Amino acid sequence: MSEDLSFNIVNEDNEEITCDVLLVIPNDDNINEPYIVFTDYLLDEDNEYVLQYGKIVIENDEYTIKRIEDNNLVEQIKDKITEEMYEKASEQVQANLFDFNNIKETFIKKNEDGLDIEYHIIGYYEKYRLYTDFIPDDSQIGFKIYVDFKENDEYNLVDFKLGKEIIKKFNNEIIKKLKSDK
Protein backbone atom coordinates (compact mmCIF):
# COMPACT_ATOMS: atom_id res chain seq x y z
CA MET A 1 0.00 0.00 0.00
CA SER A 2 1.31 3.42 -0.93
CA GLU A 3 1.69 6.22 1.59
CA ASP A 4 0.55 8.65 -1.15
CA LEU A 5 -3.03 8.54 0.08
CA SER A 6 -5.42 11.30 1.03
CA PHE A 7 -8.89 11.23 2.48
CA ASN A 8 -11.41 13.72 3.79
CA ILE A 9 -12.87 13.98 7.26
CA VAL A 10 -15.48 16.28 8.74
CA ASN A 11 -14.22 18.09 11.83
CA GLU A 12 -16.20 19.24 14.87
CA ASP A 13 -17.02 22.53 13.08
CA ASN A 14 -18.63 20.48 10.27
CA GLU A 15 -15.84 21.49 7.86
CA GLU A 16 -14.43 19.01 5.38
CA ILE A 17 -10.68 18.67 5.81
CA THR A 18 -8.22 16.74 3.66
CA CYS A 19 -5.85 14.46 5.55
CA ASP A 20 -2.72 12.87 4.12
CA VAL A 21 -1.40 9.48 5.11
CA LEU A 22 2.21 9.86 6.16
CA LEU A 23 2.98 6.27 6.94
CA VAL A 24 1.41 2.85 6.59
CA ILE A 25 2.56 0.37 9.20
CA PRO A 26 1.86 -3.35 8.96
CA ASN A 27 -0.39 -4.70 11.69
CA ASP A 28 1.29 -7.81 13.09
CA ASP A 29 -2.07 -9.02 14.45
CA ASN A 30 -3.99 -8.66 11.16
CA ILE A 31 -2.19 -8.02 7.86
CA ASN A 32 -5.50 -6.94 6.28
CA GLU A 33 -5.89 -4.03 8.72
CA PRO A 34 -2.73 -1.92 8.56
CA TYR A 35 -2.16 1.01 10.85
CA ILE A 36 -1.80 4.48 9.39
CA VAL A 37 -0.35 7.72 10.61
CA PHE A 38 -2.02 10.74 9.11
CA THR A 39 -2.26 14.47 9.55
CA ASP A 40 -4.62 17.29 8.67
CA TYR A 41 -1.62 19.66 8.90
CA LEU A 42 -2.74 21.39 12.08
CA LEU A 43 0.25 22.45 14.18
CA ASP A 44 0.76 21.87 17.89
CA GLU A 45 2.31 24.30 20.38
CA ASP A 46 5.81 23.23 19.25
CA ASN A 47 4.94 24.08 15.62
CA GLU A 48 4.95 20.38 14.72
CA TYR A 49 2.27 18.64 12.68
CA VAL A 50 -0.30 16.89 14.84
CA LEU A 51 -0.13 13.20 14.03
CA GLN A 52 -3.21 11.02 14.24
CA TYR A 53 -3.31 7.26 14.33
CA GLY A 54 -5.78 4.90 12.74
CA LYS A 55 -6.39 1.47 11.35
CA ILE A 56 -7.73 0.71 7.89
CA VAL A 57 -10.68 -1.66 8.18
CA ILE A 58 -12.82 -3.21 5.46
CA GLU A 59 -16.53 -3.00 6.31
CA ASN A 60 -19.19 -3.94 3.75
CA ASP A 61 -16.59 -4.00 0.98
CA GLU A 62 -15.57 -0.41 1.77
CA TYR A 63 -12.42 0.87 3.41
CA THR A 64 -12.91 2.85 6.60
CA ILE A 65 -10.46 4.38 9.00
CA LYS A 66 -10.92 3.75 12.69
CA ARG A 67 -9.02 6.09 15.00
CA ILE A 68 -6.78 4.39 17.54
CA GLU A 69 -7.54 5.46 21.08
CA ASP A 70 -5.37 2.87 22.91
CA ASN A 71 -2.37 4.82 24.25
CA ASN A 72 -0.19 1.70 24.43
CA LEU A 73 -0.84 0.94 20.77
CA VAL A 74 -0.19 4.57 19.84
CA GLU A 75 3.17 4.38 21.65
CA GLN A 76 4.09 1.21 19.74
CA ILE A 77 3.22 2.94 16.47
CA LYS A 78 5.23 6.02 17.50
CA ASP A 79 8.24 3.79 18.13
CA LYS A 80 7.87 2.31 14.64
CA ILE A 81 7.50 5.81 13.17
CA THR A 82 10.66 6.98 14.88
CA GLU A 83 12.56 4.00 13.51
CA GLU A 84 11.17 4.57 10.00
CA MET A 85 11.90 8.31 10.00
CA TYR A 86 15.36 7.78 11.42
CA GLU A 87 16.09 5.28 8.65
CA LYS A 88 14.82 7.66 5.93
CA ALA A 89 16.77 10.59 7.36
CA SER A 90 19.83 8.42 7.73
CA GLU A 91 19.56 7.43 4.07
CA GLN A 92 19.46 11.11 3.12
CA VAL A 93 22.39 11.96 5.36
CA GLN A 94 24.27 8.95 3.97
CA ALA A 95 23.62 10.19 0.41
CA ASN A 96 24.86 13.65 1.36
CA LEU A 97 27.95 12.22 3.02
CA PHE A 98 29.02 10.60 -0.22
CA ASP A 99 28.42 13.78 -2.19
CA PHE A 100 31.68 15.45 -1.25
CA ASN A 101 30.74 18.52 -3.31
CA ASN A 102 28.00 19.24 -0.74
CA ILE A 103 30.39 19.05 2.20
CA LYS A 104 32.45 22.15 1.87
CA GLU A 105 33.28 22.82 5.50
CA THR A 106 36.09 20.87 7.08
CA PHE A 107 38.39 21.43 10.00
CA ILE A 108 41.42 19.75 11.56
CA LYS A 109 41.25 18.56 15.13
CA LYS A 110 43.29 16.15 17.22
CA ASN A 111 41.54 12.86 17.93
CA GLU A 112 41.70 10.91 21.19
CA ASP A 113 45.11 9.49 20.09
CA GLY A 114 46.54 12.97 19.48
CA LEU A 115 46.55 12.65 15.68
CA ASP A 116 45.44 15.52 13.44
CA ILE A 117 42.23 14.38 11.72
CA GLU A 118 40.23 16.17 9.03
CA TYR A 119 36.57 16.32 10.02
CA HIS A 120 33.70 17.09 7.62
CA ILE A 121 30.77 19.14 8.86
CA ILE A 122 27.47 17.44 8.11
CA GLY A 123 25.35 20.31 9.32
CA TYR A 124 24.21 22.51 12.16
CA TYR A 125 21.22 22.22 14.44
CA GLU A 126 20.51 25.22 16.67
CA LYS A 127 23.80 25.87 18.50
CA TYR A 128 25.23 22.42 17.72
CA ARG A 129 27.65 21.33 15.00
CA LEU A 130 27.46 17.79 13.61
CA TYR A 131 30.50 16.33 11.90
CA THR A 132 32.25 13.10 10.98
CA ASP A 133 35.68 11.76 10.15
CA PHE A 134 34.16 9.11 7.83
CA ILE A 135 35.58 6.32 9.99
CA PRO A 136 33.10 3.42 9.89
CA ASP A 137 31.01 2.86 12.98
CA ASP A 138 28.10 0.63 13.87
CA SER A 139 25.70 3.58 13.98
CA GLN A 140 22.55 3.83 11.87
CA ILE A 141 24.26 5.68 9.03
CA GLY A 142 27.51 3.77 9.16
CA PHE A 143 29.79 6.58 10.32
CA LYS A 144 30.52 7.96 13.73
CA ILE A 145 28.89 11.36 14.10
CA TYR A 146 30.19 13.86 16.62
CA VAL A 147 28.18 16.70 18.14
CA ASP A 148 29.68 19.72 19.80
CA PHE A 149 28.84 23.34 20.60
CA LYS A 150 30.83 26.55 20.68
CA GLU A 151 31.43 28.23 24.00
CA ASN A 152 34.04 30.95 24.66
CA ASP A 153 35.50 30.47 21.15
CA GLU A 154 36.08 26.75 21.79
CA TYR A 155 34.09 23.74 20.66
CA ASN A 156 33.14 21.22 23.34
CA LEU A 157 31.82 17.72 22.71
CA VAL A 158 28.41 16.96 24.15
CA ASP A 159 27.75 13.80 26.12
CA PHE A 160 26.52 10.68 24.31
CA LYS A 161 22.86 11.01 25.39
CA LEU A 162 22.56 14.65 24.29
CA GLY A 163 24.46 13.92 21.08
CA LYS A 164 22.05 11.13 20.18
CA GLU A 165 19.09 13.46 20.86
CA ILE A 166 20.57 16.24 18.68
CA ILE A 167 21.25 13.79 15.84
CA LYS A 168 17.61 12.64 15.96
CA LYS A 169 16.38 16.24 15.89
CA PHE A 170 18.73 17.02 13.00
CA ASN A 171 17.38 13.96 11.14
CA ASN A 172 13.80 15.14 11.78
CA GLU A 173 14.67 18.52 10.25
CA ILE A 174 15.95 16.73 7.15
CA ILE A 175 12.70 14.77 6.97
CA LYS A 176 10.63 17.96 7.25
CA LYS A 177 12.66 19.53 4.46
CA LEU A 178 12.27 16.45 2.27
CA LYS A 179 8.50 16.48 2.81
CA SER A 180 8.23 20.20 2.07
CA ASP A 181 10.27 19.76 -1.12
CA LYS A 182 7.72 17.24 -2.49
Flag whether pLDDT at 144 surpasses 50: yes
Instruction: Give per-residue pLDDT as tens, 37-57.
Output: 888 888 888 888 888 899 999
In the chain, % of residues over pLDDT 90: 12
pLDDT band at 84 (very low <50, low <70, confident <90, very high): low
CA atoms of 28 and 73, how far apart (whole Å): 12
Count CA atoms within 13 Å of residue 64 on its CB side: 8
**Which backbone phi and psi does 40 adopt, to 5 degrees?**
-105, 10
Closest by CA to 36, choosing from 64, 72, 71, is 64
pLDDT of residue 91: 66
pLDDT band at 16 (very low <50, low <70, confident <90, very high): very high
- Considering 52-66, 109-123, 158-172, the range whose residues carry the highest mean pLDDT is 52-66
Residue 110 buriedness (CB in 10 A; 0-12 / 13-18 / 19+): exposed
